[in-house]
Amino acid sequence: MSETKTAHPLTVHVPLNGGRGYDILIGRGLLGQTGARAAALGARAAAIVTDENVAALYADGARASLEAAGLRTCLVVVPPGEASKSYAGYAQVCDGLLAARIERGDLVVALGGGVIGDLAGFAAATLRRGVRFVQAPTTLLAQVDSSVGGKTGINSGHGKNLIGAFHQPRLVLADTASLDTLSEREMRAGYAEVAKYGLINDAAFFAWCEANWAGIFSGGPERDEAVAICCRAKAGVVVRDEFEHGERALLNLGHTFAHALERLTNYDSARLVHGEAVAIGLALAFRFSARLGLCPGQEAGRVANHLALVGLPTRLQAVPGGSGDADALVEAMGQDKKVRDGALTFILARGIGASFIAPGIDRAEVLAFLKAELGAG
Amino acid sequence: MSETKTAHPLTVHVPLNGGRGYDILIGRGLLGQTGARAAALGARAAAIVTDENVAALYADGARASLEAAGLRTCLVVVPPGEASKSYAGYAQVCDGLLAARIERGDLVVALGGGVIGDLAGFAAATLRRGVRFVQAPTTLLAQVDSSVGGKTGINSGHGKNLIGAFHQPRLVLADTASLDTLSEREMRAGYAEVAKYGLINDAAFFAWCEANWAGIFSGGPERDEAVAICCRAKAGVVVRDEFEHGERALLNLGHTFAHALERLTNYDSARLVHGEAVAIGLALAFRFSARLGLCPGQEAGRVANHLALVGLPTRLQAVPGGSGDADALVEAMGQDKKVRDGALTFILARGIGASFIAPGIDRAEVLAFLKAELGAG
């Protein structure tokens, strides 16, 4: 872990009330500061929760940093992949933290991607009815999305993230150098969430992405800038609507489709990872909006073209092994948390940067759209 | 379920902020009003979570009441006993609620004793990151203690209630007629928590209990009155200190000992139920206070005498199969949630109705006290 450029990380503050405000720090080499930052929070012990892949790359360094700062440490390692976001994975993490006698004043450090952040965050939310935690996201997806905002959780056989809690981290350490070890596929998957912020309400940022995406992938200064822009956008939404009574649902642009796709592919990351599902979901949300006459067809085309240019899938037919038929997709959407009294809520768009919450969408409309999409293959 | 006397149940309001205030209704036959009360909360569907024993007695009536009020219902039944407050029991309840498509606007009704309230409450706290729930406690212990205040949770192999969440109910329906079907042992166990409120800070109530306990057991008007007094006392503490940063810890009078005893008897209710452990813990807390010179010995004697009079155990030697030795007890206390940096926090007393929080108690003092207790057998 290089310390280069860590003297002045980019900082995004999340000004939540009740003394729960926290900073998101963004920069290369920040994992080397884990210990100093944890000590500044007054912790005497810290448990690093991570997966086997991330442990091999970053656990020793983070642990050494914590111990150099005088903290007692322990390490809880789960298998990599979505399957750890299960009841069994949750029990394993909780019991690991209890065996290490992690107490209310200590810290849980979620070191890894979105799976680890959600799983370790949920364990922290519920261990002794709540201990403090630090997000140390090591994937682009986690840095721009899941590590910010306090949503934590696990999956059930009935669907993704159906069990969980709102529990805000005390600090987010986004070490952008850790993305250097990601596969191209994981970078692309995270990039779908980056593009999403432009599509929601920032057309200028989407245009900036169209011009600068290569710098994000190669690790130029565009990467830190993009992460900071996304975190700032997400922090703003979270502060205005922490518990998703309204505006926060906009962050789910593309996700109603994505969650159904992930469910029908059994969360099998060999076939589909979350960001790929989101890319398809974004393209579908815009084409559905165009079909409903809400959005110009050329805007939907521009969205799909950019996602395809960076190598992301944009059609149901791109799912290896198939996405399931239209009926199965609509049925799978019925388990989404945004369901109210059986009606489906979608995030739709009047154009790039102009998305909105559309409750009460008729299932028959969705079904007809998906049948047309699958027929168009 | 008789409707007798339900026209005017006793009401205790819990004035929490943020629109989270709720009523505790106390009276005979209140379960027959479950449907009307749920409908008044605007719910369209309700899931009753209960255990096999309670289901046989009260599930049909509660369900019929809900359906008569126009709600869609489902029933999730777990085995009776503390063993259901486990990761596996939690997964079973969550999956049962998801299979029934319980949504954010629906209600989870916890129908049963403390195990059901804690388990169903934790499932409600975390299902879709939080759905509303109603406590319908059917044991004295649950009516005066666990159903009020929003503590929910499950046990780990490392200890009791180590996993959980704060999640306030929207309503508590304490049908005191449901206590008519309790065993004498369960009534006595609940009574330990009733007496506790007097011991904490209400000497007059303890004296009232000494004079009126038989009416509580027989189901006279003293029962409703005692439940209301206990709920009012607990509600006051919860409103002043919802998340147990201070005063709320007083409610744990006797519980540091009790939790250690329950752990060492493997939560085996054939040997020891929670209220019995609390009775021993209350007697120990007063004798420990006396040993430390804080409390007159005759006050400790009066406490133990009253508990013994109603048939509760007051000594470690009363635990069938033994309580474990002093070292094991102190070790088991080390996993208590009230641990801060390894020091033990006890609730001690200067007399009946004069308890206080005593942080930083020396382990060696506790050990010597327990050795003396065990030697005195």
Pick from B104, B129, B158: which is nearest to A166 by CB?
Answer: B129
- CA A113, A118, A120, A124 dihedral sign is positive
Please report the pLDDT score of residue B337 as a whole number: 55
Residue A207 has pLDDT above 60, yes or no: yes
pLDDT tier at B347 (50, 70, 90 boundaries)? very high
Mean pLDDT for B163-184 is 97
Find out whether B117 is annotated in a ligand binding site. Answer: yes
Q: What are the residue ranges spanned by the domains of chain B? A: 10-181, 186-375
Q: B162 contacts in A (CB within 8 Å)?
A: 94, 98, 127-128
Find out whether B138 is annotated in a ligand binding site. Answer: yes
Find out whether A160 is annotated in a ligand binding site. Answer: yes
Residue pLDDT, tens place only, A21-49 = 999 999 999 999 999 999 999 999 999 99
* CA B85 to chain CA centroid, nearest Å: 14
Cross-chain residue pair A341–B129, CB shorter than 8 Å = no
Please report the pLDDT score of residue B7 as a whole number: 53
Minimum mean pLDDT range among A123-127, A350-354, B15-19: B15-19
Q: How far apart are CA A123 and CA A108, in angstroms?
A: 9
Please report the pLDDT score of residue B377 as a whole number: 47
Active site residues of A: 129, 151, 193, 234, 244, 248, 252, 255, 259, 274
Please report the pLDDT score of residue A82 as a whole number: 87
Residue pLDDT, tens place only, B101-112 = 999 889 999 999
Mean pLDDT for A78-92 is 96
What is the average pLDDT value for chain A, to the nearest integer? 93
Q: A128 contacts in B (CB within 8 Å)?
A: 162, 164, 337
Find out whether B115 is annotated in a ligand binding site. Answer: yes
Helix (H) or strand (E) holding A193: helix A184-201
Q: How far apart are CA B104 and CA B125, in angstroms?
A: 11
* List of residues 6+ apart from B33 with CB closer than 8 A: B6, B65, B173
Cross-chain residue pair B341–A103, CB shorter than 8 Å = yes
Q: How far apart are CA A370 and CA B231, in angstroms?
A: 54
Could you tell me which residues are beta bridge partners of residue A348? A356
Q: Taking Cα atoms as reference points, which of B136, B140, B251 lies closest to residue B185?
A: B140
Q: How far apart are CA B25 and CA B231, in angstroms?
A: 10
Please report the pLDDT score of residue A269 as a whole number: 86
User: Which fold does the domain B186-375 belong to in CATH?
Assistant: Dehydroquinate synthase-like, alpha domain (1.20.1090)
Looking at B6-146, which runs of residues are DSSP E strands? 10-14, 22-27, 45-51, 72-78, 107-112, 132-137
pLDDT tier at A360 (50, 70, 90 boundaries)? confident
Residue A2 has pLDDT above 70, yes or no: no
pLDDT tier at B44 (50, 70, 90 boundaries)? very high
The residue with tokens 């830190």 is A224
Q: Testing the interface with B: which of A85, A103, A106, A129 to mutate, by most B Cβ within 10 A?
A: A129
Q: Which amino acid is at A291?
A: R
Q: At what angle do helices B297-309 and B203-218 cross, to 10 degrees?
A: 10
Please report the pLDDT score of residue A337 as a whole number: 55
Residue pLDDT, tens place only, A299-346 = 999 999 999 999 999 999 999 988 889 999 998 887 665 555 557 889
Contact B189, B271 (CB under 8 A): no
pLDDT tier at B4 (50, 70, 90 boundaries)? very low
Q: How far apart are CA B97 and CA B47, in angstroms?
A: 7
Q: How far apart are CA B92 and CA A222, in angstroms?
A: 47
Q: How far apart are CA B181 and CA A274, in angstroms?
A: 52
Cross-chain residue pair A156–B103, CB shorter than 8 Å = no
Counting residues of chain B whose pLDDT is more than 70, the rounded percentage is 95
Q: How far is B162 from chain A (nearest CA, A)?
A: 5
Mean pLDDT for A211-226 is 97
Residue pLDDT, tens place only, B209-223 = 999 999 999 999 999
Task: Count CA within 13 A, CB hemisphere, residue A173.
Answer: 22
What is the number of other CB atoms lying within 10 angstroms of the CB of residue A241?
A: 15
Task: Count CA within 13 A, CB hemisphere, residue A67.
Answer: 10
How far, in Å, are A320, A339, A365, A375, B144 from residue A317 at the CA level? Answer: 8, 26, 20, 10, 58
Mean pLDDT for B51-68 is 98
Minimum mean pLDDT range among A57-61, A155-159, B175-179, B277-281: A155-159
Q: State the CATH class of domain A209-375.
A: mainly alpha
What is the number of other CB atoms lying within 10 angstroms of the CB of residue A219?
A: 15
Find out whether B12 is annotated in a ligand binding site. Answer: no
Q: How far is A221 from chain B (nearest CA, A)?
A: 36
- Write phi, then psi, for B188 (nearest 5 degrees): -60, -40
Cross-chain residue pair B166–A126, CB shorter than 8 Å = no
Q: Which amino acid is at A136?
A: A
Residue pLDDT, tens place only, B130-164 = 999 999 999 999 999 999 999 999 999 888 899 99
Q: How far apart are CA B134 and CA A62, in angstroms?
A: 44
pLDDT tier at B267 (50, 70, 90 boundaries)? confident
Please report the pLDDT score of residue B338 as a whole number: 56
Mean pLDDT for A85-104 is 96
By CB atoms closer than 10 A (0-12, 13-18, 19+), residue A320 is exposed
Minimum mean pLDDT range among A159-168, A287-296, B210-219: A159-168
Cross-chain residue pair B129–A91, CB shorter than 8 Å = no
Q: Taking Cα atoms as reference points, which of A195, A330, A196 lies closest to residue A261?
A: A330
Please report the pLDDT score of residue B5 as a whole number: 46
Please report the pLDDT score of residue B24 as a whole number: 97
Cross-chain residue pair B335–A101, CB shorter than 8 Å = yes
* List of residues 6+ apart from A183 with CB closer than 8 A: none
Q: How far apart are CA A128 and CA A277, in angstroms?
A: 35
Please report the pLDDT score of residue B245 as a whole number: 87
The residue with tokens 């205030």 is B21
Cross-chain residue pair B162–A335, CB shorter than 8 Å = no
Please report the pLDDT score of residue B263 as a whole number: 87
Q: Testing the interface with A: which of B71, B108, B118, B128 to mutate, by most A Cβ within 10 A?
A: B128
Mean pLDDT for B234-259 is 93
The residue with tokens 């990599």 is A80
Q: How far apart are CA B132 and CA B171, in angstroms?
A: 9
ipTM value of the model? 0.89
Higher local confidence (pLDDT), A17 or A127: A127
Pick from A99, A103, A153: which is nearest to B339 by CB?
Answer: A103
Please report the pLDDT score of residue B1 as a whole number: 40
Q: Taking Cα atoms as reference points, which of B42, B251, B227, B228 lies closest to residue B132?
A: B42
Backbone torsion region of residue B128, taken as left when φ is above 0, otherwise alpha when ψ lies between -120 and 50, otherwise beta? left
Q: How far is A125 from chain B (nearest CA, A)?
A: 8
Residue A259 has pLDDT above 60, yes or no: yes
CATH number for the region B10-181 comes to 3.40.50.1970
- CA B47, B53, B56, B61 dihedral sign is negative
Counting residues of chain B whose pLDDT is more than 90, the rounded percentage is 84
Residue A201 has pLDDT above 60, yes or no: yes
User: Could you tell me whether strands B171-175 and B132-137 are parallel, antiparallel, or unpaired per DSSP bridges?
Assistant: parallel
Residue B199 has pLDDT above 80, yes or no: yes
Please report the pLDDT score of residue B243 as a whole number: 86
Q: How far is A235 from chain B (nearest CA, A)?
A: 19
Q: How far apart are CA B128 and CA B197, in angstroms?
A: 35
By CB atoms closer than 10 A (0-12, 13-18, 19+), residue A376 is exposed
Pick from B98, B151, B158: which is nearest to A99 by CB?
Answer: B158
